[in-house]
Amino acid sequence: MMRSVALITASLLAVGGTTAQAESDAERAARCAGQAQIVARAVSLRAGGTDEGATTAQLGASDSGIDPKYAPSVSILVGWIYTLPTDQMTPEVATAFETQCLGYKP
Among the listed residues 81, 78, 83, 80, the one whose alpha carbon sits nearest the alpha carbon of residue 58 = 78
User: Whole-structure pTM over 0.85, yes or no?
Assistant: no
pLDDT tens-digit map of 47-69: 999 999 999 999 999 999 999 99
Q: What are the tens digits of pLDDT across the range 43-52?
A: 999 999 999 9
Residues in contact with 56: Cβ distance below 8 Å, sequence separation at least 6, in sequence order: 74, 75, 78, 79
91-105 pLDDT, tens digit per residue, is 999 999 999 999 987
Percent share of the chain, pLDDT over 70: 80
